[in-house]
């Protein structure tokens, strides 16, 4: 009987079936292992792995002013992480961390039994190394296949890296809620502290967040968070990481009650320019995740001063306008009540009144480095940047381009120019002067012949106040209507000067160009006018000094490009005619119907522009009649602070400039006894020769 059984057992069909089954098993096992390993990344990638880092933005004095990050995260060496925090993590998450090879058989069997008994996957039962492998390379989906991959990868990680390296990466990678990845970001998010400042109780609270950051959040669930923190402390005590005295003291610590207040930081319009500049160049992933270090030109102290003063002055002007309109407003009611819900804010009655906007910009005269950029009264209120995006009429602040054209044509500051009423008419192709010798009354009569004609446009510009002084010096003419001068020197020449200075905006070929009827952007206008303060040398505005990667490697660095556009002599004459004091030159600008009010001023080192007006181009003519002089007042208040540490240098006098006393009424040399004589600058050889 036994012989017969043995024969049947080893018959060829049976052997063939066994071999086929074994082969099938091997193939299935191989396929399964291939499937498992094909989903694993090469472990060597861990050596080069860098979690998503925060990109930092610094001001000109290397102070941190902003961070770009998708995930709030920072990399910290293990030696900079408090020992209590390290111990708490090991005690709660993996007490055998320094003993196992990457996984715990006891934990796996415990989780397996739970899974089989409940019919669903159990969260947990993972070592720190497993959690790290899952957090770095694998998904959080709780599947059996992922668990196998997690264990295999954990074993590879343990083989490749030391325990200290694994713990360091884990503490920098772990998600702790509220957008905070890693313990450094979490310390800032929950306590507004650096890691070195954390107490034992605070370290325990952070570690308690790991399994369920939302559930154990101290702001949302303080009682649950306290219980969880105390559990962590008890475990630390039981494992001899802290003493009884330390345990009791840590349990008495008060939990944080609300997130640290995030103050509105100055310079948000500037930061947005940095983002728009670098994001297209490096891509979103690099800017927001690669931990770049961006060193900018902004002076954050000056920026804060400018924002505060501008907002304060514009609020005062708003109140003046409202008072003139018979509207009573609460000066403190300038922003939404943050204690109300959005629905409550919408339901709260609001007093409607005109709201001025403003812009302010400061740059270095020689290099073009932008130190201050205020694009409006609040970035959260309106992200539209009125310093770089708005196109507004510059008014009389456009005059320097006309005057430079005159100087280049041979005029001197003492040259007499016409300040008489002049009629301009348009014949369908060009503008022409009608009769420059006629008085205002006769011009009024003459223009009547053109009024009924559809083929002609007639324009008679007048000075502010309607007064004409006849023939006056080029210097004095800066205060008057400039259309006669642009008519004399040529619109084409004026446009050429503006282009050389740096204006790229469309400039209409009309006499009114001298009055600033073109529309320009503040940043371009300021850079162009600064050319004259820089001895005729133009430099573009710039915002970023250099960019480094997370390892300090230089990615880019700004190198100023200088172009000599005007002679130092002509530039000095123009600046000298626009002087407001010993070392400040400037020009106001007020457009028709007081829609735009400008002031642009500069020292030998610093130039600044200020603008105020309404976004909807509302006129001030019938309300509080603000002018460029109004803008100049808050420009001055800001610049008194900005310039307080700047040397009080005068504009350098270039070679080829001489000075002579002249009679400001005749433009001729002044007699020694004249009281109203004026010391005027000239290009040597062009001084008046007679009294």
* Whole-angstrom distance, CA of residue 427 vs CA of residue 429: 6
Q: Determine, yes or no, domain membership for 268.
A: no
677-685 average pLDDT score: 94
- Number of domain units in the chain: 2
Q: Determine, yes or no, domain membership for 462.
A: no
Segment holding 146, helix H or strand E: helix 144-160
**Chain segment 197-230, per-residue pLDDT in tens:** 999 999 999 999 999 999 999 999 999 999 999 9
Q: Which residues pair with 64 in a beta bridge?
A: 58
Residue 249 has pLDDT above 70, yes or no: yes
* Collapsed DSSP state (helix, strand, coil) of residue 359: strand
Q: What pLDDT sits at residue 340? A: 46
Residue 139 has pLDDT above 50, yes or no: no
Q: Determine, yes or no, domain membership for 18.
A: no
Structure confidence at residue 261 as a pLDDT band (50, 70, 90): confident
Tokens 């020689």 correspond to what residue?
366
**What's the distance, Cα to Cα, between the start and end of the chain in Å?**
149
- With both helix axes pointing from N to C terminus, report the angle between 522-533 and 568-577 in degrees, rounded to the nearest 10: 110
Q: Determine, yes or no, domain membership for 415.
A: no
**For the chain, percent of residues with pLDDT exceeding 90:** 51
* Better-scored residue on pLDDT, 567 or 44: 567
Burial pattern 295-321, b for ≥16 Cβ within 10 A else e, equals bbbbbbbbbebbbebbbebbbebbbeb
CA distances from 547 to 267, 278, 289, 436 (A): 18, 9, 14, 59
Q: Do 180 and 164 form a contact (C-beta atoms < 8 A)?
A: no
Which of 75, 550, 56, 70 has its CA nearest to residue 285? 70
Q: Do 460 and 394 form a contact (C-beta atoms < 8 A)?
A: no
Which of 72, 625, 605 has its CA nearest to residue 371? 605
Q: What pLDDT sits at residue 455? A: 52
Average pLDDT, the chain: 82
Q: What pLDDT sits at residue 35? A: 47
Residue range(s) defining the domain that contains residue 104: 74-251
For residue 113, the domain's CATH number is: 1.10.3810.10
159-173 average pLDDT score: 85
* Better-scored residue on pLDDT, 34 or 156: 156
Last residue of a domain, one of 251, 275, 294: 251
| Rounded to 5°, angle at Cα 664 from 662 and 669 | 20
DSSP 611: E
Q: Do 174 and 209 form a contact (C-beta atoms < 8 A)?
A: no
Non-local CB neighbours of 587 within 8 Å, separated by 6+ positions: 396, 397, 399, 400, 478, 529, 578, 598, 599, 600, 601
Q: Determine, yes or no, domain membership for 35.
A: no
Q: What pLDDT sits at residue 439? A: 47
Last residue of a domain, one of 251, 268, 286: 251
Structure confidence at residue 96 as a pLDDT band (50, 70, 90): confident
This prediction's pTM: 0.73
Q: Do 483 and 512 form a contact (C-beta atoms < 8 A)?
A: yes
**What is the C-alpha R_g of the chain?**
38
Q: What pLDDT sits at residue 94? A: 84
Q: Determine, yes or no, domain membership for 83.
A: yes
Q: Determine, yes or no, domain membership for 279.
A: no
Q: Chain-centre distance of CA 269, in angstroms? A: 4
Structure confidence at residue 140 as a pLDDT band (50, 70, 90): very low
* Whole-angstrom distance, CA of residue 55 vs CA of residue 293: 6
Please list the active-site residues.
Answer: 93, 396
Residue 123 has pLDDT above 50, yes or no: no
SS (H, E, C) 626-649: CCHHHHHHHHHHHHHHHCCCCCCC
**Chain segment 489-548, per-residue pLDDT in tens:** 999 999 999 999 999 999 999 888 988 899 999 999 999 999 999 999 999 999 999 999
Q: What pLDDT sits at residue 204? A: 95
Residue 317 has pLDDT above 80, yes or no: yes
643-669 average pLDDT score: 93
Residue 165 has pLDDT above 60, yes or no: yes
Structure confidence at residue 555 as a pLDDT band (50, 70, 90): very high
Residue 484 has pLDDT above 90, yes or no: no
**Chain segment 318-369, per-residue pLDDT in tens:** 988 888 777 776 655 554 444 444 444 455 445 566 789 999 999 999 999 9
Q: Determine, yes or no, domain membership for 550.
A: no
Q: Which residues pair with 658 in a beta bridge?
A: 682
**For the chain, percent of residues with pLDDT exceeding 70:** 73
Which of 118, 680, 620, 589 has its CA nearest to residue 407? 680
Q: Do 589 and 394 form a contact (C-beta atoms < 8 A)?
A: yes
* Whole-angstrom distance, CA of residue 501 vs CA of residue 640: 27
Report the sign of the C-alpha dihedral through residues 134, 139, 142, 145, in that order: negative
Last residue of a domain, one of 201, 222, 251: 251
* Better-scored residue on pLDDT, 362 or 54: 362
Non-local CB neighbours of 172 within 8 Å, separated by 6+ positions: 51, 73, 74, 75, 76, 181, 182, 183, 184
């Amino acid at each position: 009987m036994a012989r017969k059984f043995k024969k049947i057992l080893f018959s060829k069909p049976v052997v063939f079936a066994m071999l086929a089954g074994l082969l099938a098993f091997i193939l299935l096992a191989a396929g399964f292992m291939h499937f498992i390993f094909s989903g694993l990344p090469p472990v060597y990638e861990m050596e080069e792995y860098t979690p998503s880092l925060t990109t930092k933005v610094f001001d000109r004095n290397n102070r941190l002013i902003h961070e770009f990050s998708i995930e709030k995260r920072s990399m910290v060496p293990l030696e900079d992480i408090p020992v209590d925090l390290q111990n708490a993590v090991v005690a709660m998450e993996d007490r055998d961390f320094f003993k196992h090879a990457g996984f715990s058989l006891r934990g796996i069997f415990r989780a397996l039994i739970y899974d089989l008994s409940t019919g669903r996957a159990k969260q947990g039962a993972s070592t720190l190394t497993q959690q790290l492998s899952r957090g770095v390379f694998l998904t959080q989906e709780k599947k059996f296949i992922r668990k196998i991959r997690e264990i295999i990868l954990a074993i590879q990680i343990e083989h490749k890296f030391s325990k200290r390296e694994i713990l360091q990466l884990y503490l920098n990678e772990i998600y702790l809620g509220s957008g905070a990845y890693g313990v450094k970001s979490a310390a800032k998010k929950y306590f507004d502290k650096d890691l070195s400042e954390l107490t034992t109780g605070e370290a325990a609270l952070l570690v308690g967040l790991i399994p369920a950051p939302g559930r154990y959040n101290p702001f949302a669930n303080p009682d649950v968070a306290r219980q969880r923190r105390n559990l962590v402390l008890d475990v630390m005590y039981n494992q001899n990481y802290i003493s009884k005295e330390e345990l009791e003291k840590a349990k008495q610590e008060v939990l944080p009650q609300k997130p640290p207040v995030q103050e509105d930081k100055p310079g948000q319009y500037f930061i947005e320019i940095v983002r728009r500049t670098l994001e297209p160049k490096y891509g979103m992933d690099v800017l927001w995740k690669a931990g770049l270090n961006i060193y900018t030109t902004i002076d954050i102290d000056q920026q804060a001063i400018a924002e505060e003063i501008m907002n304060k002055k514009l609020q005062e002007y708003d109140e003046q306008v409202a008072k003139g309109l018979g509207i009573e407003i609460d000066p403190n009611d300038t922003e939404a009540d943050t204690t109300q819900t959005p629905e409550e804010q919408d339901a709260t009655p609001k007093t409607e009144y005109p709201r001025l906007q403003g812009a302010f910009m400061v740059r270095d005269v020689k290099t073009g480095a932008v130190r201050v950029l205020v694009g409006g009264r609040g970035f959260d209120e309106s992200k539209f940047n009125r310093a770089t995006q708005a196109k507004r009429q510059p008014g009389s602040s456009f005059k320097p381009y006309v005057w430079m054209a005159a100087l280049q044509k041979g005029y001197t500051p003492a040259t007499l120019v016409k300040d008489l009423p002049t009629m301009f008419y348009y014949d369908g192709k060009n503008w022409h002067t009608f009769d420059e010798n006629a008085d205002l009354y006769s011009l009024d009569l003459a223009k009547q012949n053109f009024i009924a004609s559809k083929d002609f446009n007639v324009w008679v510009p007048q000075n502010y106040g309607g007064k004409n002084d006849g023939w006056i010096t080029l210097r004095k003419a800066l205060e008057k209507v400039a259309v006669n001068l642009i008519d004399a020197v040529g619109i084409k020449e004026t446009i050429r000067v503006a282009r050389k200075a740096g204006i790229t905006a469309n400039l209409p070929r009309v006499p009114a160009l001298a009055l600033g009827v073109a529309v320009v952007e503040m940043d371009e206008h300021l850079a162009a006018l600064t050319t004259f303060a820089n001895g005729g040398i133009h430099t573009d505005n710039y915002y970023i000094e250099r960019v480094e990667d997370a390892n300090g490697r230089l990615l880019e660095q700004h190198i100023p490009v200088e172009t000599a556009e005007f002679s130092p002599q002509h530039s000095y004459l123009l600046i000298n005619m626009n002087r407001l004091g010993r070392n400040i030159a400037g020009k106001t600008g007020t457009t028709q119907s007081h829609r735009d009010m400008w002031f642009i001023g500069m020292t030998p080192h610093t130039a600044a522009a200020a603008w105020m007006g309404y976004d909807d181009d509302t006129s001030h003519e019938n309300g509080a009649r603000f002018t460029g002089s109004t803008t100049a007042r808050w420009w001055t208040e800001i610049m008194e602070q900005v310039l307080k540490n700047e040397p009080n240098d005068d504009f350098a006098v270039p070679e080829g400039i001489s000075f002579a006393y002249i009679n400001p009424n005749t433009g001729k040399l002044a007699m020694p006894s004249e009281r109203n004589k004026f010391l005027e600058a000239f290009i040597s050889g062009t001084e008046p020769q007679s009294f």
